[in-house]
Amino acid sequence: MSAPTLSAVRTLPSFPNVLRIRADESTPKYHPIFSFSDADVILRSNQGTLYRIYSFTLRTTSGFFATMFSLPQPKASSQHPDERFSNRPQPPSEILDVYENDFPLESLLKLMSGLPIPRWSSLDEFEKVLGLAEKWDTPGPISTMRHSLNSKVFLETHALRCFAIARHFGWDAEAKAASTQTLVLDLYDPVHTPIIDRMTSKDFLRLVEFHRRRRNLFRQLLDSPERFAAGNSVPYHCNRCGVTVLDNYPWKEFKHAMFLEMERRPLGDTLGVVIGEAADWPAARACWEAKCPKEDCGGLNYDRIATLRQIRACVALLPSTVEL
Q: Would you list the domain boundaries of the chain?
A: 1-76+85-145, 204-316
Residue 15: its pLDDT value, please?
43
Q: By the 8 A CB rule, do 169 and 147 touch?
A: no
Q: Which of 143, 70, 156, 152 shows the shortest CA–CA distance to 111? A: 143
Distance CA 297, CA 23 (A): 96
Residue 37: its pLDDT value, please?
86
Kindly report the three-state secondary structure assignment for every residue of 96-109: EECCCCHHHHHHHH
Strand ranges, E, within 3-139: 20-23, 30-35, 41-44, 50-53, 94-97
Counting residues of the chain whose pLDDT is more than 90, the rounded percentage is 73
The CA-atom distances, in angstroms, between 220 and each of 120, 133, 164, 255 are: 43, 46, 30, 11
- Residues 206-221 have pLDDT tens digits of 999 999 999 999 999 9
| Class (C level, CATH) for 1-76+85-145 | alpha beta
Residue 111: its pLDDT value, please?
97
Q: Please report, as a single letter, which amino acid is at residue 250.
A: P
Residue 16: its pLDDT value, please?
46
